[in-house]
Structure 1
Amino acid sequence: MRDCEARVFCPSLSYSWAHISLLSAHPLITSTSASRRPGSGTERSAMKKVLFLNGGKQFAHSDGRYDATLHRAGVAFMDRAGFDVKETFIDGGYNAAEEVQKFLWADVIVWQMPGWWMGAPWTVKKYIDEVFTEGHGSLYANDGRTRSDASQTYGSGGLLQGKQYMISATWNAPQKAFDDASDFFEAKGVDAVYFPFHKANEFLGMTGLPTFLAVDVMKMPNIEADVQRYEAHLGKVFGAQ
């Protein structure tokens, strides 16, 4: 079932974590460990082809192992559940045209990444810029507007209707930072932080699935528990066991 691209995985789940992580989601979702987005059981059962994108990276005090572990756990879980799986390790290099074909193949895209300076790593943004632009004409037609029809709105030119995406994010910030009105993100939740990232995916016509969030991964890491939560999250979202 598994189509393995360039991969970098950690050999064990037990080691110390000294790095920055990530998060993500949509502004309309409350900031819980597994944020909720729409998606019916019927839709989930039809999603059999999943593209996992590992956006982890070694940089400064981040070594990418937390994200690599969650990425590996997700790929293995979905493979065992009978899904067709492809994957790309973004920082390991990629061919933009081949990545476009993966997007066209997949029913669901899973973005795994750390939160760096309130957003995705620059390598993930570079991937989006290069792959989405390469996909002009297949991933999206245009910005959706026409000079002859004023009713056509910006952002409606995507060609991936029916496909979905999901964010799995790791952050150094604790859950309270997203949920508490007196804390850093003012109770706006993880999806507000990643509003532009969601819109980039929606520009292609895709819709979002519930976000998974691992928090406090530097000061209080618990990779074993996070892997278990992630597998439970995937099982619920995809109807997989």
Structure 2
Amino acid sequence: MTNILLINGHQPFPTSPGKLNAALTAFAADFFAARDCPVRCVETKSAWDLETEIGNQLWAGLIIVQFPLNSMGLPWSLKRYFDEVYTAGMDGRLAKGDGRSRSDPGRQYGSGGRMQDTRYMLSVTSNAPQTAFGDARQTLFSGRSIDDLLSPVHINFAFFGASACPTFAAYDVSKGGRTAEDFRRYEYHLLAVYDLLGA
């Protein structure tokens, strides 16, 4: 059994109360609980305890980060969570410094992570349609994928030694109205991740 930490990083604002991200978080929690995996959930919009969250990071075999794409990046409360939890974890619990030595400070930056046994998965909701990504003819992203757009998040996890599971994305969520299809795709995605983990 793999310990599952679910982080709901939605930050509500008037036109986006966060129902879809909450529903996807609950769906993943039910999926893994039905397979006897211990599950913990945290919402970054609410108060959370720093030491508890460092403990959650150490406990988890899989961290699923659920969030909407806000201003082409993370919602501010999720960014704050990452900044505070991972910075505090630099004390040796999540990383032993940045991996460099004083004798050779120009090499091995980012090799001090202690989360090598941890996997992570990003689950993203986006107002942009899927056709906006990966197509050089689309001018905004110029052929970039959603993972390209979120490369700072992937690099942050790599810094701490965690390895990626494939990203899930629900596209065109404001105008597309394909919620049932998105949940079917998410179930198949989680099944693939579950198999990958050997949970």
Shorter chain as normaliser: what TM range?
over 0.9
Establish whether residue 57 from structure 1 lines up as the match of residue 11 from structure 2.
yes
Distance 2:113 2:65 in 1: 19
Decide whether the 8 Å contact of 1:97 with 1:135 is kept in 2.
no
- Work out the CA distance in 2 between the residues paired with 1:221 and 1:68: 17
Alpha-carbon distance in structure 1 between the residues aligned to 2:14 and 2:157: 28
TM superposition score normalised by structure 2: 0.93
Does residue 90 of the first structure (1) align with residue 44 of the second (2)?
A: yes
1:116-136 Cα shifts (integer Å, max 9, x gaps): 010010110000111111212
Hey, what does 1:189 align to over in structure 2? 145
2:100 aligns with: 145
| Counterpart-to-counterpart distance in 2, 1:127 and 1:151 | 29
Indicate conservation of the 8 Å contact 2:7/2:63, yes or no.
Answer: yes
Contact 2:120 2:163 in 1 (8 A): yes
Residue 30 of structure 2 corresponds to 76
Deviates more, 1:96-105 or 1:51-60: 51-60
Match of 1:31 in 2: none
CA distance in 1 between counterparts of 2:36 and 2:107 reads 40
Q: Do 2:11 and 2:76's aligned partners in 1 also have CA atoms closer than 8 Å?
A: no
Please give the residue correspondences for 1:23-38 in structure 2 after superposition, counting only pairs within 5 Å: none
Instruction: Name the CA distance, whole Å, in 2 between partners of 1:198 and 1:150.
Output: 23
The sequence identity of aligned pairs, in percent, is: 38
Structure 2 matches for 1:37-52, cutoff 5 A? 48-52=2-6
CA–CA distance in structure 1, aligned partners of residues 177 and 68 of structure 2: 14
1:234 alignment partner AA: L
Q: Distance in 2 between matches of 1:200 and 1:232?
A: 27
Q: What is the aligned partner in structure 2 of residue 67 from structure 1? A: 21
Q: CA deviation at 1:221?
A: 2.3
TM-score by length of 1: 0.77
> What is residue 110 of structure 2 aligned with on the other side?
155
Secondary structure of 1:173's aligned partner: coil
> Which one of 171, 194, 199 corresponds to residue 238 of structure 1?
194
What is the number of residues matched between the two proteins? Answer: 195
| Aligned counterpart, 2:178 | 222
SS at match of 2:133: helix
* 1:176 positional shift: 0.6
Instruction: Tell me what 2:76 maps to.
Output: 122
What letter matches 2:187 in structure 1?
E
141-150 vs 99-108, greater mean Cα deviation? 141-150
In 2: Cα distance, 1:67 partner to 1:202 partner:
24
Q: Of residues 189, 199, 208 in structure 1, which corresponds to 2:155?
A: 199
Equivalent residue, structure 2, for 1:110? 64
> Alpha-carbon deviation of 1:202?
0.9
Structure 2 alignment gaps of length 5 or more: none
- Partner SS for 1:176: helix
